Structure 1
Amino acid sequence: MKPAVAIEELRAWSPPNEAQAALREALVAFCLARPDDACLRECEPGHLTASALVLDHTGERTLLTLHPRVGRWIQLGGHCEPGDASLREAALREATEESGIPGLEIAAHPLHIDVHPVTCSLGLPTRHLDVRYLVRAPAGAVPVISDESTDLAWWPLDGLPADSDTVSTMVESARLSAG
């Protein structure tokens, strides 16, 4: 995936508040400064990643993964791959791979952005510039644990685990965008 595509996606999004707008501009600036590698995990200063807040068909529960490296319940998502045409496509691919659920439907624009320090798969301290999308699972969806998860579970939106990172912030963004 080319950073220019990520820039187009980010600029097409209307952030819900000033903090998210500032993060969007920071990600755009990062992509402009690193036109060749901003989306590659090999980019040591940081790299764009794509995540998904997967809601069940009722919108009352979210699917979280107990991440083996992080050790907490978090949203599905991960690194962009060379075959991904966009951040949106990367988020949908990651959600499908990690959930094992076919027929997921993804929103047209991002839901939330987060930047966080992490030691990712290369074993080096870096930053994930994470662009998050709202994804809906079809009725009757049954998740299947992949090798990227210790566990998968549906959690009620009003009963998220205490150590679920920024999932509650994404849930609040989803509620605001729906109403």
Structure 2
Amino acid sequence: MSPESFAQTLAATVTRYLAQVAAPAEHLSLLRWQIAEGHRLDLRETMPGHLTTSAIVLSPDHAQILVIDHITIGRWLQPGGHYEPSPFFHLSAQREAEEETGVTGLKLHPWHQNGDLPFIIDSHDVPGKKSRNEPPHIHHDLQYLFLADPSQPLTAQLDEVNAAKWREVAMLEDFAPKTAARLKMAPAPV
């Protein structure tokens, strides 16, 4: 995507998310303001926030979730990272999951109906990174659901994560409670 098509696609995606998916209390005010101001949300240098994508990778029965032990943040999270140019936002999330965990055979969850509408858009504070001279800032995270076989071997990308593991899906409550709540309404595919 060019910067212009990125901005148009992101604006349309956020508008559609707010109309079709968002809970009544979700307003995404900062993200919408940054879009209206023309901020380059595809660049990690953009402050006060920029775009990230992440993958909620589930076992087919929704009993397990793939998580990473994130080096910078120091806790278990879903795989994800700063947006990298892709034809679709979910492909950026998929690439992050594959790179960070070595997971193979990812399939976009049927909830997405083969589209690019995020399951969750979560704007949250992150601590920044001293080695990059980054101050604390906001990640506007587009989260996508994927399915994968938990019996496949994993290989953590050790420059970004300490480990990658399959854990019980209840762990999602610890770091993504909005996602966990919405997931309870998205039944496992048959």
Asked if the contact 1:73/1:161 (under 8 Å) is kept, the reply is no
Asked if the contact 2:71/2:161 (under 8 Å) is kept, the reply is yes
Letter in 2 for 1:136: L
Deviations 1:40-76 (A, max 9, x none): 1010211011111110122110011110111111111
Letter in 2 for 1:38: L
Aligned partner of 2:178 in structure 1 is: 169
Equivalent position SS for 1:78: strand
Tell whether 2:128 aligns with 1:120. yes
Return the offset for 1:161: 7.7
Aligned partner of 1:149 in structure 2 is: 161
The size of the alignment, in residue pairs, is 172
Q: What is the correspondence of 1:10-21 to structure 2 with a 5 Å cutoff?
A: 10-13=14-17, 14-20=20-26
Aligned partner of 2:151 in structure 1 is: 140
Which structure 2 residue ranges, 5 or more long, are not aligned? none
Asked if the contact 2:150/2:166 (under 8 Å) is kept, the reply is no
Asked if the contact 1:5/1:86 (under 8 Å) is kept, the reply is no
For 1:26 and 1:105, locate their aligned partners in 2 and report how far apart those are by CA, in whole Å.
31
Equivalent position SS for 2:184: helix
Runs of 4+ in 1 over 6 A off after TM superposition: none
Asked if the contact 1:64/1:76 (under 8 Å) is kept, the reply is yes
Aligned partner of 1:104 in structure 2 is: 106
Letter in 1 for 2:125: P
Asked if the contact 1:46/1:127 (under 8 Å) is kept, the reply is yes
Which structure 1 residue ranges, 5 or more long, are not aligned? none
Percent identity reads 28
For 1:95 and 1:116, locate their aligned partners in 2 and report how far apart those are by CA, in whole Å.
20
Asked if the contact 1:61/1:157 (under 8 Å) is kept, the reply is yes
For 1:31 and 1:86, locate their aligned partners in 2 and report how far apart those are by CA, in whole Å.
18
Deviations 1:100-119 (A, max 9, x none): 11221123321112211223
Tell whether 2:9 aligns with 1:5. yes
Q: 1:178 aligns with which of 170, 187, 190?
A: 187
Aligned partner of 1:92 in structure 2 is: 94
Asked if the contact 2:31/2:123 (under 8 Å) is kept, the reply is no
For 1:95 and 1:113, locate their aligned partners in 2 and report how far apart those are by CA, in whole Å.
17
Aligned partner of 1:50 in structure 2 is: 53
RMSD: 2.2
Aligned partner of 2:34 in structure 1 is: 30
User: Once structures 1 and 2 are overlaid, which stretch shifts more, 97-106 or 117-126?
Assistant: 117-126
Q: 1:44 to 1:29 in 2, by over 3 A?
A: closer
For 2:58 and 2:93, locate their aligned partners in 1 and report how far apart those are by CA, in whole Å.
14
Q: 1:120 to 1:31 in 2, by over 3 A?
A: same
